[in-house]
C-alpha cells in the first residue's frame, strides 16, 4: 500500500512543472500563438497568424504588445500596450497585465527558450512558440 501511495505521489508531482523564475528572461521577444485550449479541452489552432506578441521584461516588470509583421521586414506597431508584472507566488508564476482598459492575471504554466503556455483564471490555455526575427534584410 505504501508503494502505491509513493508511486501516485511521484506521478502527480512529476506532472506539475515548477517555473524557474531565474529563467524568466526567456519570455523576452516575439511569440506567435499556436493554439488555444478551453477548460473543456476544445482546441482552436492558429496555422496562419499575422500578429505577433512582443514581451519585454526586466527585473519582473515590463510590457506586452501586439505587433504586425509587414512585407518590408518591419513591424506595424502602435502605442497600445499592456504593462506587465511577473508575480511569483506559492511555487507558481503569474503574469499580471494592466493598462488603462483594465487588468487580468494569467498563470505561466510552462516557459522554455522556444515555448510558452499561459493559463487564464477561466482555465483557458494559450500555447505560444518563440519566433526568431531577422530584421537585417
pLDDT of amino acid 105:
97
The pLDDT-based confidence of 135 (bands split at 50, 70, 90) is low
Residue boundaries of the structural domains of the chain: 2-131
- Looking at residue 125, its pLDDT comes to 98
- pLDDT at position 84, please? 97
Q: Mind listing the pLDDT tens digit for each residue in 112-134?
A: 999 999 999 999 999 999 998 76
pLDDT tens across 85-106, in order?
999 999 999 999 999 999 999 9
Return the SS3 of 11: helix
pTM, entire model: 0.81
Average pLDDT on 45-49 reads 89
CB atoms within 10 A of CB 54: 19
The pLDDT of residue 136 is 60
Q: How far apart (Å, rounded) are the C-alpha atoms in residues 128 and 63?
A: 17
The count of other CB atoms within 10 Å of the CB of residue 21 is: 12
CA dihedral 110, 113, 114, 119 (to 10 degrees): 20
Residue % of the chain over a pLDDT of 90:
64
Q: Hey, what CATH class is 2-131 in?
A: mainly beta
Amino acid at each position: 500500500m505504501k508503494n502505491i501511495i509513493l508511486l501516485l505521489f511521484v506521478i502527480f508531482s512529476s506532472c506539475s512543472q515548477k517555473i524557474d523564475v531565474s529563467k524568466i528572461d526567456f519570455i523576452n521577444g516575439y511569440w506567435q500563438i499556436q493554439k488555444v485550449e478551453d477548460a473543456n479541452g476544445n482546441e482552436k489552432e492558429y496555422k496562419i497568424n499575422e500578429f505577433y506578441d512582443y514581451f519585454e521584461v526586466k527585473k519582473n516588470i515590463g510590457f506586452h504588445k501586439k505587433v504586425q509583421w509587414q512585407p518590408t521586414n518591419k513591424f506595424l506597431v502602435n502605442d497600445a500596450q499592456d504593462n506587465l508584472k511577473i508575480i511569483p507566488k506559492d511555487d507558481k508564476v503569474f503574469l499580471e497585465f494592466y493598462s488603462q482598459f483594465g487588468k487580468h492575471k494569467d498563470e505561466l504554466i510552462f516557459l522554455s527558450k522556444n515555448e510558452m503556455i499561459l493559463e487564464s483564471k477561466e482555465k483557458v490555455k494559450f500555447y505560444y512558440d518563440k519566433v526568431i526575427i531577422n530584421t537585417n534584410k
